[in-house]
Amino acid sequence: MLFFAQQHGNEQSGKEGVLLLAKTLLKPEYAYLFNKIDLVLIPQVNPDGSELNKRRNANNADLNRNHLIMTEPETKAIHKLFDKYLFEVTVDVHEYSPYGDDWKKYGYRKNTDVTLGSTTNINIPEKIRKYSDSLVLPFVLKRLKEKGFSSFVYCPGGPPDSAYIRHSTFDINDGRQSLGIQNTLSFIQEGMNGIDTYKENIRHRAEGQMNGMLAMLEFIHANKTKIKKLIKNERKSLLSGLKNGKTSVQMIHTGNGKKLTLPLRSYFTGNDTIVLVDDYRPVVKSLTEVINPIGYLIPKSDKNLLGWMKSIDLKYETFKPGKNIKIEEYLVQLVDSTDFEGDTVIDPDLTSRYYDNLSFTDYYYIPVDQFKGKMIIQALEPKSMIGLATYRQFAYLVKEGTAFPVLRIIRTKN
């Protein structure tokens, strides 16, 4: 298991909670956990931000939006550690701030001590998402309440009169989803930020975070065999399944006919209340899928892409063409746009042309049968609403009237 905290430097209780956890775990009554669990703690991912009590790191990057383009030393370090141990369970520890102007205007704000969320990207196997949502989350949230901390399932966004409520983005550029997409049981825990992020209620906030992590350890310990098996099987099928399956590259949040009962606190009376959220969209649906290639060809002349490939530590090789393959090249006919969780992202119209042969020495080959396979596909497909081409640094990849420089290798026969 891996707990990592304070990617955002102004979320002090994550770090304090992990340090408190380290101290607590030294007590004899918790020794039993280590009969079954190997645990790694990173209390402070972003020390520079913490020093200034700022969200971003010293390079002014939001680390929790950096897990796909991976330009920052802090995110690279997390993934290097993950790649080494291939943790089966990970928890990314944060704080949420309930004090925004939009909430003030609404008249109510969130007031939950600790929230916990799991993965939502639809390319993460349903078995993993279901296990997280129906077993892990309820256990931890209940245990928190028993220890005197209010708890609720992670649902960022709002207020409910101006925005729909969902259980987070399905983007894979954050800590939780970028590890989850490698078929990991992966979570985000958020404590409530104080108005003074250093001082206000810091003991209570740190203890809430610590108790959430402790409950997670308790659950994982009790269900270790089942979890090991689940992750082992899903990671195995991640590698074998990619050759034939499909990957969703455009998704949407939808409702399921249910309303959400959201606990809030009145800004004016200080009383707790509940609000029935009409526009509640807990379900992620796929809009567009691509047939998985067996791998991609990256032009050696594109230093930008090579830099990305290396910083994300992908397996790559020189392509050895065998029989029964086709090389697919996308032609960008038109660059339209689409809405992605309130932002506008590119949505190109594509046609394909095929080659039987090519000068393979001009390319590196990235096979998709690796743990990051689903991440690779979502990063490298030009129609992906969370792909590389939606980032400023890679916007040049999709240009109207030109060929997309990354090529797909497709198997024509199994």
In the complex, the residues that contact Zn ion under the rule CB under 5 A are 8, 11, 94
Nearer to Zn ion, 16 or 234 (CB): 16
- For Zn ion, give the closer residue by CB, 11 or 302: 11
Contact 302, 187 (CB under 8 A): no
In whole angstroms, how close is the CB of 172 to Zn ion at the nearest point? 17
Nearest-approach distance from CB 62 to Zn ion, in angstroms = 9
For every residue of 53-73, DSSP letters joined together read T-SS-TTS--GGG-TTT--SH
Measured from the CB atom, the residue of 8 and 56 that comes closer to Zn ion is 8
Does the CA dihedral 309-310-311-313 come out positive or negative?
A: positive
Q: What are phi and psi of 264, to 5 degrees?
A: -135, 170
- Which of 118/370 has CB closer to Zn ion? 118
Residue 303: both structure tokens together: 């230093």
Q: What are phi and psi of 148, to 5 degrees?
A: 95, 15
> Of the two residues 11 and 234, which places its CB atom closer to Zn ion in the complex?
11
| Smallest gap from residue 193 Cβ to Zn ion (A) | 9
Kindly state the smallest distance separating residue 64's Cβ from Zn ion, in Å: 6
CB of 93 to Zn ion, least distance (A): 9
- Give yes or no for a contact between 348 and 382, defined as CB atoms under 8 angstroms apart: yes
CA 375 to CA 119: how far, in whole Å?
Answer: 14
| Cα dihedral 134, 137, 138, 141 in deg (nearest 10) | -170
Residue partners of 128: CB distance under 8 A and separation at least 6: 119, 180, 183, 184, 185, 230, 231, 234
Nearer residue to Zn ion within complex by CB, 185 or 188: 188
Decide whether 94 or 143 has the Cβ nearer to Zn ion: 94
State which H helix or E strand residue 263 sits in: strand 260-266
User: Is the Cβ–Cβ distance between 205 and 114 less than 8 Å?
Assistant: no
Taking the complex as a whole, how short is the minimal distance between the CB of residue 385 and Zn ion, in angstroms? Answer: 23
- Burial bucket for residue 224 (CB in 10 Å: 0-12, 13-18, 19+): middle
AA identity, residue 246: K
Q: How far is the CB of 299 from Zn ion (least distance, A)?
A: 36
